[in-house]
Structure 1
Amino acid sequence: MLPIAGVVAIPFYYILVNTFKTQPEVSASPLALPSSPDFSNYAEVFESLPIVQSFFNTLYVGVVSIVLMLLVGSMAAYGMLIGRGRFMTFVGMLCLVAFLVPGQTTLIPLYRMLTGMQLVDTLEGLIVLYMSGAIFCYFLIVGYMRTIPTEMFESARIDGASAFRIYWSIVLPLIRPILVTVGVFQAMWVWNDFITPNVFINSPDKQTLVLQVYSAVGQFTTDWPAFMTLSVIVLAPLVVLFIFAQRHIVSGLVAGSVKG
Protein backbone atom coordinates (compact mmCIF):
# COMPACT_ATOMS: atom_id res chain seq x y z
CA MET A 1 0.00 0.00 0.00
CA LEU A 2 2.91 2.39 0.61
CA PRO A 3 3.97 2.59 -3.08
CA ILE A 4 0.33 3.14 -4.08
CA ALA A 5 -0.02 5.87 -1.45
CA GLY A 6 3.16 7.45 -2.78
CA VAL A 7 1.75 7.59 -6.31
CA VAL A 8 -1.47 9.16 -5.03
CA ALA A 9 0.53 11.72 -3.02
CA ILE A 10 2.49 12.98 -6.05
CA PRO A 11 -0.18 15.50 -7.18
CA PHE A 12 -0.45 16.88 -3.64
CA TYR A 13 3.33 17.22 -3.44
CA TYR A 14 3.38 18.91 -6.85
CA ILE A 15 0.79 21.48 -5.81
CA LEU A 16 2.27 22.17 -2.37
CA VAL A 17 5.94 22.70 -3.35
CA ASN A 18 5.03 25.02 -6.21
CA THR A 19 3.22 27.39 -3.88
CA PHE A 20 6.64 28.38 -2.51
CA LYS A 21 8.15 29.14 -5.94
CA THR A 22 8.07 31.96 -8.44
CA GLN A 23 6.64 31.56 -11.92
CA PRO A 24 10.07 30.98 -13.56
CA GLU A 25 10.97 28.33 -10.97
CA VAL A 26 7.69 26.50 -11.56
CA SER A 27 8.31 26.46 -15.31
CA ALA A 28 11.96 25.37 -14.95
CA SER A 29 11.62 22.60 -12.36
CA PRO A 30 8.04 21.90 -11.25
CA LEU A 31 8.85 18.79 -9.18
CA ALA A 32 12.01 20.11 -7.48
CA LEU A 33 12.04 21.54 -3.99
CA PRO A 34 12.16 25.36 -3.82
CA SER A 35 15.67 26.80 -3.53
CA SER A 36 14.41 29.15 -0.80
CA PRO A 37 10.80 28.96 0.46
CA ASP A 38 8.85 32.02 -0.64
CA PHE A 39 5.60 32.78 1.17
CA SER A 40 4.83 35.82 -0.95
CA ASN A 41 2.31 33.82 -3.03
CA TYR A 42 0.08 33.35 0.02
CA ALA A 43 0.40 37.01 1.02
CA GLU A 44 -0.38 38.17 -2.51
CA VAL A 45 -3.42 35.92 -2.80
CA PHE A 46 -4.93 37.15 0.47
CA GLU A 47 -4.24 40.77 -0.46
CA SER A 48 -5.58 40.68 -4.01
CA LEU A 49 -8.61 38.39 -3.60
CA PRO A 50 -11.51 38.27 -1.11
CA ILE A 51 -10.46 34.87 0.25
CA VAL A 52 -11.94 35.38 3.72
CA GLN A 53 -15.31 36.47 2.33
CA SER A 54 -15.37 33.54 -0.09
CA PHE A 55 -14.44 31.16 2.74
CA PHE A 56 -17.39 32.27 4.85
CA ASN A 57 -19.69 32.14 1.82
CA THR A 58 -18.65 28.53 1.20
CA LEU A 59 -18.90 27.68 4.89
CA TYR A 60 -22.41 29.14 5.15
CA VAL A 61 -23.66 27.37 2.04
CA GLY A 62 -21.97 24.11 3.05
CA VAL A 63 -23.19 23.93 6.65
CA VAL A 64 -26.80 24.90 5.93
CA SER A 65 -27.16 22.71 2.83
CA ILE A 66 -25.55 19.67 4.49
CA VAL A 67 -27.81 19.95 7.56
CA LEU A 68 -30.87 20.18 5.32
CA MET A 69 -29.68 17.30 3.11
CA LEU A 70 -29.14 15.04 6.11
CA LEU A 71 -32.49 16.02 7.62
CA VAL A 72 -34.47 15.46 4.41
CA GLY A 73 -32.54 12.31 3.45
CA SER A 74 -32.92 10.70 6.88
CA MET A 75 -36.63 11.57 7.11
CA ALA A 76 -37.22 10.12 3.65
CA ALA A 77 -35.32 6.95 4.57
CA TYR A 78 -37.34 6.60 7.77
CA GLY A 79 -40.60 7.11 5.88
CA MET A 80 -39.65 4.49 3.29
CA LEU A 81 -38.65 2.07 6.03
CA ILE A 82 -41.92 2.22 7.94
CA GLY A 83 -44.17 2.79 4.93
CA ARG A 84 -45.85 0.07 2.93
CA GLY A 85 -47.90 -0.17 -0.24
CA ARG A 86 -47.63 0.62 -3.92
CA PHE A 87 -47.31 4.35 -3.36
CA MET A 88 -44.11 3.94 -1.33
CA THR A 89 -42.74 1.58 -3.98
CA PHE A 90 -43.49 4.20 -6.63
CA VAL A 91 -41.74 6.90 -4.57
CA GLY A 92 -38.72 4.63 -4.16
CA MET A 93 -38.50 4.08 -7.93
CA LEU A 94 -38.90 7.81 -8.51
CA CYS A 95 -35.98 8.51 -6.17
CA LEU A 96 -33.88 5.96 -8.04
CA VAL A 97 -34.64 7.59 -11.40
CA ALA A 98 -33.88 11.05 -9.97
CA PHE A 99 -30.55 9.78 -8.66
CA LEU A 100 -29.56 8.54 -12.13
CA VAL A 101 -30.21 11.87 -13.90
CA PRO A 102 -26.96 13.91 -14.30
CA GLY A 103 -27.23 17.32 -12.70
CA GLN A 104 -25.67 19.05 -15.72
CA THR A 105 -28.66 18.12 -17.87
CA THR A 106 -31.02 20.11 -15.65
CA LEU A 107 -29.08 23.39 -15.45
CA ILE A 108 -31.29 25.29 -17.89
CA PRO A 109 -34.65 24.41 -16.26
CA LEU A 110 -33.11 24.97 -12.82
CA TYR A 111 -31.90 28.40 -13.86
CA ARG A 112 -35.37 29.32 -15.10
CA MET A 113 -36.95 28.06 -11.89
CA LEU A 114 -34.55 30.02 -9.68
CA THR A 115 -35.07 33.13 -11.82
CA GLY A 116 -38.81 32.91 -11.14
CA MET A 117 -38.09 32.47 -7.42
CA GLN A 118 -35.61 35.41 -7.48
CA LEU A 119 -32.87 33.18 -6.07
CA VAL A 120 -30.30 33.55 -8.85
CA ASP A 121 -27.07 35.17 -7.62
CA THR A 122 -27.91 34.42 -4.00
CA LEU A 123 -26.31 32.03 -1.51
CA GLU A 124 -29.77 30.80 -0.55
CA GLY A 125 -30.27 29.75 -4.19
CA LEU A 126 -27.15 27.62 -3.98
CA ILE A 127 -28.50 26.01 -0.80
CA VAL A 128 -31.75 25.14 -2.58
CA LEU A 129 -29.81 23.57 -5.44
CA TYR A 130 -27.53 21.57 -3.17
CA MET A 131 -30.52 20.16 -1.32
CA SER A 132 -30.94 17.86 -4.32
CA GLY A 133 -28.07 15.92 -2.74
CA ALA A 134 -30.58 14.63 -0.20
CA ILE A 135 -31.30 11.80 -2.66
CA PHE A 136 -27.74 10.51 -2.19
CA CYS A 137 -28.14 10.80 1.57
CA TYR A 138 -31.39 8.85 1.34
CA PHE A 139 -29.83 5.86 -0.44
CA LEU A 140 -26.97 5.50 2.05
CA ILE A 141 -29.09 6.14 5.14
CA VAL A 142 -31.91 3.77 4.21
CA GLY A 143 -29.44 0.87 3.95
CA TYR A 144 -28.08 1.68 7.38
CA MET A 145 -31.55 2.01 8.89
CA ARG A 146 -32.41 -1.52 7.82
CA THR A 147 -29.89 -2.75 10.42
CA ILE A 148 -31.98 -1.24 13.23
CA PRO A 149 -34.32 -3.82 14.85
CA THR A 150 -37.92 -2.97 14.03
CA GLU A 151 -38.91 -4.16 17.53
CA MET A 152 -37.57 -0.84 18.85
CA PHE A 153 -40.08 1.07 16.72
CA GLU A 154 -42.93 -1.22 17.78
CA SER A 155 -42.07 -0.82 21.47
CA ALA A 156 -42.03 2.97 21.09
CA ARG A 157 -45.43 2.91 19.38
CA ILE A 158 -46.88 0.81 22.20
CA ASP A 159 -45.58 3.41 24.68
CA GLY A 160 -47.48 6.08 22.75
CA ALA A 161 -44.63 7.71 20.81
CA SER A 162 -45.57 9.39 17.55
CA ALA A 163 -43.78 8.72 14.27
CA PHE A 164 -41.80 11.97 14.54
CA ARG A 165 -40.88 11.26 18.18
CA ILE A 166 -39.54 7.85 17.18
CA TYR A 167 -37.54 9.44 14.39
CA TRP A 168 -36.12 12.24 16.54
CA SER A 169 -35.45 10.37 19.80
CA ILE A 170 -34.60 6.86 18.59
CA VAL A 171 -33.64 6.82 14.92
CA LEU A 172 -31.37 9.88 14.74
CA PRO A 173 -29.10 8.86 17.67
CA LEU A 174 -28.79 5.33 16.27
CA ILE A 175 -27.82 6.44 12.75
CA ARG A 176 -25.23 9.00 13.85
CA PRO A 177 -22.27 7.10 12.25
CA ILE A 178 -23.86 7.08 8.78
CA LEU A 179 -24.90 10.71 9.18
CA VAL A 180 -21.25 11.65 9.75
CA THR A 181 -20.19 9.54 6.78
CA VAL A 182 -22.72 11.05 4.40
CA GLY A 183 -22.07 14.51 5.80
CA VAL A 184 -18.36 14.28 4.95
CA PHE A 185 -19.11 13.04 1.43
CA GLN A 186 -21.55 15.86 0.82
CA ALA A 187 -19.17 18.40 2.36
CA MET A 188 -16.51 17.42 -0.18
CA TRP A 189 -19.04 17.76 -3.00
CA VAL A 190 -20.34 21.18 -1.94
CA TRP A 191 -16.90 22.55 -1.07
CA ASN A 192 -15.31 21.46 -4.37
CA ASP A 193 -18.26 22.12 -6.68
CA PHE A 194 -17.45 24.57 -9.48
CA ILE A 195 -20.17 24.37 -12.10
CA THR A 196 -23.14 25.28 -9.86
CA PRO A 197 -21.75 28.51 -8.33
CA ASN A 198 -20.15 29.41 -11.67
CA VAL A 199 -23.57 29.29 -13.38
CA PHE A 200 -25.76 30.76 -10.66
CA ILE A 201 -23.46 33.30 -8.94
CA ASN A 202 -22.41 36.55 -10.61
CA SER A 203 -21.56 38.98 -7.80
CA PRO A 204 -17.90 38.93 -6.65
CA ASP A 205 -18.88 39.25 -2.98
CA LYS A 206 -20.98 36.04 -3.18
CA GLN A 207 -18.41 33.82 -4.86
CA THR A 208 -17.22 30.59 -3.28
CA LEU A 209 -13.61 29.53 -2.76
CA VAL A 210 -13.50 27.33 -5.85
CA LEU A 211 -14.44 30.29 -8.04
CA GLN A 212 -11.48 32.21 -6.62
CA VAL A 213 -9.15 29.47 -7.88
CA TYR A 214 -10.36 30.17 -11.40
CA SER A 215 -9.38 33.83 -11.03
CA ALA A 216 -5.73 32.83 -11.53
CA VAL A 217 -6.54 31.55 -15.04
CA GLY A 218 -6.24 34.26 -17.66
CA GLN A 219 -7.28 34.26 -21.29
CA PHE A 220 -3.78 33.54 -22.59
CA THR A 221 -1.65 32.78 -19.51
CA THR A 222 -2.08 31.16 -16.10
CA ASP A 223 -0.42 32.33 -12.90
CA TRP A 224 0.57 28.84 -11.76
CA PRO A 225 1.96 29.77 -8.31
CA ALA A 226 -1.24 31.69 -7.50
CA PHE A 227 -3.38 28.90 -8.98
CA MET A 228 -1.70 26.26 -6.82
CA THR A 229 -1.71 28.49 -3.75
CA LEU A 230 -5.46 28.93 -4.08
CA SER A 231 -5.82 25.18 -4.60
CA VAL A 232 -3.99 24.50 -1.32
CA ILE A 233 -6.20 27.01 0.50
CA VAL A 234 -9.31 25.26 -0.86
CA LEU A 235 -8.03 21.75 -0.08
CA ALA A 236 -6.72 22.41 3.44
CA PRO A 237 -10.11 22.51 5.26
CA LEU A 238 -11.24 19.29 3.55
CA VAL A 239 -8.02 17.48 4.48
CA VAL A 240 -8.46 18.51 8.12
CA LEU A 241 -12.12 17.44 8.07
CA PHE A 242 -11.29 14.08 6.55
CA ILE A 243 -8.49 13.40 9.06
CA PHE A 244 -10.80 13.99 12.02
CA ALA A 245 -13.80 12.17 10.51
CA GLN A 246 -12.13 9.17 8.84
CA ARG A 247 -12.81 6.83 11.77
CA HIS A 248 -16.53 7.66 11.64
CA ILE A 249 -16.58 7.27 7.86
CA VAL A 250 -15.22 3.73 7.99
CA SER A 251 -17.44 2.68 10.91
CA GLY A 252 -20.53 4.14 9.24
CA LEU A 253 -19.99 2.36 5.94
CA VAL A 254 -19.05 -0.98 7.52
CA ALA A 255 -21.92 -0.94 10.03
CA GLY A 256 -24.43 -0.31 7.28
CA SER A 257 -23.12 -3.02 4.97
CA VAL A 258 -24.12 -6.05 7.07
CA LYS A 259 -27.37 -6.73 8.88
CA GLY A 260 -27.44 -8.72 12.10
Structure 2
Amino acid sequence: MTRTHEGRRSVLRSIVMIALTAVVAIPLYYIVISTFKTSIDMARSPLGLPGSWTFHNYVNVFRTSSVVRSFTNTLIVTVVGVAFQVLIGSMAAYGMILQKGRLTAAAGTLLMVAFCIPMQSTLIPLYRMEASLNLVNSLQGLILIYLGSAIFCYFLIVGYMRKLPMSLLEAARIDGAGPFRIYWQIVLPLIRPILTTVIVFQTLSTWNDFVWPNVLLSSTDKRTIVLQVYNAVGQFSTDWPSFMTVTVIALVPVFVFFVFCQKWIVSGLVAGSVKG
Protein backbone atom coordinates (compact mmCIF):
# COMPACT_ATOMS: atom_id res chain seq x y z
CA MET A 1 0.00 0.00 0.00
CA THR A 2 2.87 2.30 0.85
CA ARG A 3 4.63 1.53 -2.43
CA THR A 4 1.41 2.25 -4.35
CA HIS A 5 1.04 5.57 -2.54
CA GLU A 6 4.67 6.49 -3.23
CA GLY A 7 4.22 5.51 -6.87
CA ARG A 8 1.21 7.80 -7.23
CA ARG A 9 3.09 10.66 -5.60
CA SER A 10 6.01 10.09 -7.93
CA VAL A 11 3.74 10.16 -10.99
CA LEU A 12 1.98 13.30 -9.75
CA ARG A 13 5.30 14.95 -9.06
CA SER A 14 6.51 14.05 -12.56
CA ILE A 15 3.35 15.49 -14.13
CA VAL A 16 3.76 18.75 -12.22
CA MET A 17 7.43 19.02 -13.18
CA ILE A 18 6.67 18.34 -16.85
CA ALA A 19 3.94 20.99 -16.80
CA LEU A 20 6.26 23.55 -15.21
CA THR A 21 9.02 22.68 -17.67
CA ALA A 22 6.62 23.19 -20.57
CA VAL A 23 5.60 26.60 -19.24
CA VAL A 24 9.25 27.65 -19.24
CA ALA A 25 10.32 25.84 -22.40
CA ILE A 26 7.55 26.87 -24.80
CA PRO A 27 8.41 30.61 -24.83
CA LEU A 28 12.10 29.76 -25.19
CA TYR A 29 11.32 27.35 -28.01
CA TYR A 30 9.20 30.01 -29.73
CA ILE A 31 12.00 32.58 -29.55
CA VAL A 32 14.73 30.25 -30.79
CA ILE A 33 12.73 28.63 -33.59
CA SER A 34 11.58 32.03 -34.84
CA THR A 35 15.16 33.05 -35.57
CA PHE A 36 15.24 30.49 -38.39
CA LYS A 37 11.96 31.65 -39.95
CA THR A 38 10.83 34.35 -42.30
CA SER A 39 8.09 36.79 -41.30
CA ILE A 40 5.63 34.83 -43.45
CA ASP A 41 6.51 31.56 -41.66
CA MET A 42 6.04 33.21 -38.27
CA ALA A 43 2.60 34.52 -39.20
CA ARG A 44 1.54 31.25 -40.80
CA SER A 45 2.76 28.88 -38.07
CA PRO A 46 4.03 30.58 -34.89
CA LEU A 47 4.95 27.36 -33.06
CA GLY A 48 5.64 25.18 -36.07
CA LEU A 49 9.03 24.37 -37.53
CA PRO A 50 10.27 26.65 -40.33
CA GLY A 51 9.48 25.64 -43.88
CA SER A 52 13.15 26.07 -44.78
CA TRP A 53 15.86 26.61 -42.20
CA THR A 54 17.88 29.76 -42.79
CA PHE A 55 20.55 31.78 -40.99
CA HIS A 56 19.65 34.92 -42.90
CA ASN A 57 18.32 36.60 -39.76
CA TYR A 58 21.63 36.20 -37.95
CA VAL A 59 23.59 37.46 -40.95
CA ASN A 60 21.23 40.41 -41.32
CA VAL A 61 21.40 41.38 -37.64
CA PHE A 62 25.19 41.31 -37.54
CA ARG A 63 25.39 43.26 -40.79
CA THR A 64 22.81 45.98 -40.11
CA SER A 65 23.03 46.52 -36.34
CA SER A 66 25.76 47.17 -33.79
CA VAL A 67 25.33 43.87 -31.95
CA VAL A 68 29.07 43.16 -31.80
CA ARG A 69 29.75 46.59 -30.31
CA SER A 70 26.92 46.19 -27.78
CA PHE A 71 28.18 42.72 -26.87
CA THR A 72 31.69 44.10 -26.30
CA ASN A 73 30.34 46.95 -24.15
CA THR A 74 28.38 44.51 -22.01
CA LEU A 75 31.38 42.23 -21.63
CA ILE A 76 33.61 45.11 -20.51
CA VAL A 77 31.04 46.46 -18.04
CA THR A 78 30.28 43.00 -16.62
CA VAL A 79 33.87 41.80 -16.21
CA VAL A 80 35.24 45.04 -14.76
CA GLY A 81 32.16 45.77 -12.67
CA VAL A 82 31.88 42.30 -11.13
CA ALA A 83 35.63 42.12 -10.45
CA PHE A 84 35.53 45.36 -8.44
CA GLN A 85 32.25 44.42 -6.73
CA VAL A 86 33.72 41.17 -5.44
CA LEU A 87 37.04 42.79 -4.52
CA ILE A 88 35.40 45.63 -2.56
CA GLY A 89 32.81 43.35 -0.95
CA SER A 90 35.37 40.76 0.16
CA MET A 91 37.80 43.38 1.49
CA ALA A 92 34.99 45.06 3.44
CA ALA A 93 33.97 41.70 4.91
CA TYR A 94 37.59 40.93 5.78
CA GLY A 95 37.99 44.27 7.54
CA MET A 96 34.74 43.69 9.41
CA ILE A 97 35.85 40.37 10.91
CA LEU A 98 39.46 41.47 11.45
CA GLN A 99 38.67 44.54 13.54
CA LYS A 100 35.61 43.93 15.70
CA GLY A 101 34.45 46.94 17.64
CA ARG A 102 31.92 49.73 17.84
CA LEU A 103 33.16 51.37 14.68
CA THR A 104 32.82 48.20 12.57
CA ALA A 105 29.42 47.50 14.17
CA ALA A 106 28.25 50.99 13.22
CA ALA A 107 29.62 50.52 9.71
CA GLY A 108 27.79 47.20 9.42
CA THR A 109 24.55 48.85 10.52
CA LEU A 110 25.04 51.64 7.99
CA LEU A 111 25.60 49.09 5.22
CA MET A 112 22.44 47.26 6.27
CA VAL A 113 20.42 50.48 6.05
CA ALA A 114 21.94 51.29 2.65
CA PHE A 115 21.15 47.79 1.41
CA CYS A 116 17.48 48.25 2.35
CA ILE A 117 17.06 51.47 0.35
CA PRO A 118 15.11 50.77 -2.89
CA MET A 119 17.19 51.26 -6.00
CA GLN A 120 14.44 53.32 -7.66
CA SER A 121 14.71 56.01 -4.98
CA THR A 122 18.38 56.57 -5.83
CA LEU A 123 17.98 57.02 -9.60
CA ILE A 124 17.78 60.82 -9.64
CA PRO A 125 20.50 61.51 -7.00
CA LEU A 126 22.92 59.10 -8.63
CA TYR A 127 22.18 60.47 -12.08
CA ARG A 128 22.89 64.01 -10.84
CA MET A 129 26.11 62.79 -9.25
CA GLU A 130 27.19 61.15 -12.51
CA ALA A 131 26.28 64.28 -14.47
CA SER A 132 28.36 66.47 -12.15
CA LEU A 133 31.35 64.17 -12.79
CA ASN A 134 30.74 64.11 -16.58
CA LEU A 135 30.24 60.34 -16.45
CA VAL A 136 26.78 60.19 -18.03
CA ASN A 137 26.75 58.28 -21.32
CA SER A 138 29.99 56.48 -20.55
CA LEU A 139 30.88 52.91 -19.67
CA GLN A 140 33.03 54.19 -16.79
CA GLY A 141 29.99 55.86 -15.25
CA LEU A 142 27.94 52.69 -15.62
CA ILE A 143 30.67 50.62 -13.98
CA LEU A 144 30.86 53.13 -11.12
CA ILE A 145 27.12 52.75 -10.50
CA TYR A 146 27.45 48.97 -10.41
CA LEU A 147 30.05 49.23 -7.67
CA GLY A 148 27.15 49.89 -5.31
CA SER A 149 26.29 46.20 -5.65
CA ALA A 150 29.41 45.48 -3.62
CA ILE A 151 27.08 45.76 -0.59
CA PHE A 152 25.28 42.61 -1.73
CA CYS A 153 28.65 40.88 -2.15
CA TYR A 154 29.65 42.00 1.33
CA PHE A 155 26.58 40.51 3.00
CA LEU A 156 27.03 37.15 1.29
CA ILE A 157 30.75 36.98 2.01
CA VAL A 158 30.87 38.27 5.59
CA GLY A 159 28.64 35.47 6.88
CA TYR A 160 30.98 32.92 5.33
CA MET A 161 34.10 34.67 6.64
CA ARG A 162 32.79 34.66 10.22
CA LYS A 163 33.03 30.87 10.17
CA LEU A 164 36.71 30.82 9.21
CA PRO A 165 39.11 29.49 11.88
CA MET A 166 40.47 32.71 13.42
CA SER A 167 43.34 30.72 14.94
CA LEU A 168 44.70 30.24 11.41
CA LEU A 169 44.71 33.99 10.79
CA GLU A 170 46.31 34.62 14.18
CA ALA A 171 49.03 32.06 13.42
CA ALA A 172 49.77 33.78 10.11
CA ARG A 173 49.95 37.15 11.88
CA ILE A 174 52.39 35.73 14.47
CA ASP A 175 54.55 34.40 11.61
CA GLY A 176 54.88 37.95 10.32
CA ALA A 177 52.23 38.06 7.60
CA GLY A 178 50.59 41.44 7.11
CA PRO A 179 46.83 42.01 6.77
CA PHE A 180 46.90 42.17 2.97
CA ARG A 181 49.01 39.01 2.66
CA ILE A 182 46.65 37.15 5.00
CA TYR A 183 43.71 38.36 2.94
CA TRP A 184 45.25 37.43 -0.41
CA GLN A 185 47.01 34.16 0.39
CA ILE A 186 44.84 32.69 3.17
CA VAL A 187 41.37 34.21 3.30
CA LEU A 188 40.57 34.31 -0.44
CA PRO A 189 41.46 30.63 -1.04
CA LEU A 190 39.37 29.61 1.99
CA ILE A 191 36.28 31.49 0.81
CA ARG A 192 36.54 30.42 -2.84
CA PRO A 193 33.14 28.61 -2.84
CA ILE A 194 31.19 31.69 -1.77
CA LEU A 195 33.29 33.92 -4.04
CA THR A 196 32.28 31.77 -7.01
CA THR A 197 28.63 31.97 -6.01
CA VAL A 198 28.80 35.76 -5.67
CA ILE A 199 30.54 36.09 -9.05
CA VAL A 200 27.83 34.05 -10.75
CA PHE A 201 24.99 36.03 -9.16
CA GLN A 202 26.54 39.40 -9.93
CA THR A 203 27.48 38.43 -13.48
CA LEU A 204 23.90 37.42 -14.26
CA SER A 205 22.54 40.58 -12.61
CA THR A 206 24.95 42.95 -14.36
CA TRP A 207 24.65 41.34 -17.79
CA ASN A 208 20.84 41.39 -17.71
CA ASP A 209 20.42 44.85 -16.17
CA PHE A 210 18.25 47.23 -18.16
CA VAL A 211 17.44 50.12 -15.81
CA TRP A 212 20.84 51.74 -15.37
CA PRO A 213 22.03 51.41 -19.00
CA ASN A 214 18.70 52.86 -20.13
CA VAL A 215 19.06 55.80 -17.73
CA LEU A 216 22.75 56.57 -18.27
CA LEU A 217 23.54 55.59 -21.87
CA SER A 218 22.18 57.43 -24.89
CA SER A 219 24.76 56.93 -27.64
CA THR A 220 24.36 54.01 -30.02
CA ASP A 221 28.01 53.02 -29.66
CA LYS A 222 27.65 52.83 -25.85
CA ARG A 223 24.63 50.52 -25.72
CA THR A 224 24.72 47.25 -23.84
CA ILE A 225 23.27 44.09 -25.36
CA VAL A 226 20.04 44.40 -23.36
CA LEU A 227 19.55 47.93 -24.68
CA GLN A 228 20.19 46.57 -28.14
CA VAL A 229 17.30 44.14 -27.66
CA TYR A 230 15.06 46.93 -26.38
CA ASN A 231 15.85 49.20 -29.32
CA ALA A 232 15.34 46.33 -31.76
CA VAL A 233 11.61 46.56 -31.06
CA GLY A 234 11.48 49.83 -32.95
CA GLN A 235 14.26 49.02 -35.38
CA PHE A 236 12.63 45.77 -36.44
CA SER A 237 8.99 46.71 -35.89
CA THR A 238 7.88 44.65 -38.91
CA ASP A 239 10.70 42.12 -38.79
CA TRP A 240 10.02 39.98 -35.73
CA PRO A 241 12.45 37.20 -36.75
CA SER A 242 15.27 39.76 -36.54
CA PHE A 243 14.04 40.89 -33.13
CA MET A 244 14.01 37.27 -31.91
CA THR A 245 17.53 36.84 -33.27
CA VAL A 246 18.86 39.78 -31.26
CA THR A 247 17.15 38.35 -28.19
CA VAL A 248 18.82 34.96 -28.66
CA ILE A 249 22.22 36.60 -29.15
CA ALA A 250 21.73 38.36 -25.81
CA LEU A 251 20.55 35.20 -24.04
CA VAL A 252 23.06 32.63 -25.25
CA PRO A 253 26.21 33.85 -23.41
CA VAL A 254 24.51 34.23 -20.05
CA PHE A 255 22.68 30.91 -20.50
CA VAL A 256 25.93 29.08 -21.23
CA PHE A 257 27.61 30.83 -18.29
CA PHE A 258 24.82 29.83 -15.90
CA VAL A 259 24.75 26.20 -17.07
CA PHE A 260 28.52 25.98 -16.70
CA CYS A 261 28.57 27.54 -13.22
CA GLN A 262 25.35 26.22 -11.63
CA LYS A 263 27.14 23.48 -9.69
CA TRP A 264 29.30 26.12 -8.00
CA ILE A 265 26.21 28.13 -7.06
CA VAL A 266 24.77 25.20 -5.13
CA SER A 267 28.10 24.08 -3.65
CA GLY A 268 28.95 27.60 -2.52
CA LEU A 269 25.62 28.16 -0.76
CA VAL A 270 25.65 24.71 0.83
CA ALA A 271 29.26 25.07 1.95
CA GLY A 272 28.45 28.43 3.49
CA SER A 273 25.53 26.99 5.40
CA VAL A 274 27.36 24.04 6.95
CA LYS A 275 30.89 25.32 7.28
CA GLY A 276 32.37 25.26 10.78
SS across alignment from 1:218: helix
Separation in 2, partners of 1:162, 1:219: 56
The Cα of 1:174 is off from its aligned counterpart by: 1.2
The 8 Å contact of residues 197 and 211 in structure 1, kept in 2 or not, is answered as yes
Alignment of 1:20-169 (within 5 A): 20-169=36-185
Separation in 1, partners of 2:24, 2:155: 29
The Cα of 1:221 is off from its aligned counterpart by: 4.2
Q: CA RMSD in A?
A: 1.7
Partner of 1:199: 215
Say which is worse superposed, 162-171 or 212-221, in terms of deviation: 212-221
The 8 Å contact of residues 216 and 222 in structure 1, kept in 2 or not, is answered as no
> Out of 19, 27, 37, which is 1:11 matched to?
27
TM-score by length of structure 1 reads 0.94
Pick closer, same or farther for the CA change 1:91–1:223 going to 2, 3 Å: farther
User: Alignment length, in residue pairs?
Assistant: 260
Identify, as 1 or 2, the structure richer in helix: 2
Separation in 1, partners of 2:204, 2:120: 18
Residue 224 of structure 1 pairs with residue 266 of structure 2: no
SS across alignment from 1:147: coil
Partner of 1:247: 263
Separation in 1, partners of 2:58, 2:272: 42
Separation in 1, partners of 2:191, 2:275: 14
Partner of 1:258: 274
Separation in 2, partners of 1:56, 1:84: 42
Separation in 1, partners of 2:213, 2:166: 42
The 8 Å contact of residues 90 and 154 in structure 2, kept in 1 or not, is answered as yes
The 8 Å contact of residues 42 and 229 in structure 1, kept in 2 or not, is answered as yes
The 8 Å contact of residues 21 and 34 in structure 1, kept in 2 or not, is answered as yes
Q: Deviations over 1:192-250 (max 9, x none)?
A: 11111111111111111111111221299463212211111001111111122122211
Say which is worse superposed, 24-33 or 102-111, in terms of deviation: 24-33
Say which is worse superposed, 65-74 or 157-166, in terms of deviation: 157-166
SS across alignment from 1:217: helix
1:172 aligned partner, one-letter code:
L
SS across alignment from 1:202: coil
The 8 Å contact of residues 54 and 208 in structure 1, kept in 2 or not, is answered as yes
Indicate the percent of aligned positions where both proteins have the same amino acid.
59
The 8 Å contact of residues 119 and 125 in structure 1, kept in 2 or not, is answered as yes
The Cα of 1:26 is off from its aligned counterpart by: 2.1
Q: Which has the larger radius of gyration?
A: 2
Which structure 1 residue ranges, 5 or more long, are not aligned?
A: none
Partner of 1:234: 250
Separation in 2, partners of 1:180, 1:159: 29
SS across alignment from 1:110: helix
Separation in 2, partners of 1:163, 1:104: 37
Pick closer, same or farther for the CA change 1:38–1:219 going to 2, 3 Å: closer
The 8 Å contact of residues 39 and 240 in structure 2, kept in 1 or not, is answered as yes
TM-score by length of structure 2 reads 0.89
The 8 Å contact of residues 208 and 226 in structure 2, kept in 1 or not, is answered as yes
Residue 181 of structure 1 pairs with residue 197 of structure 2: yes
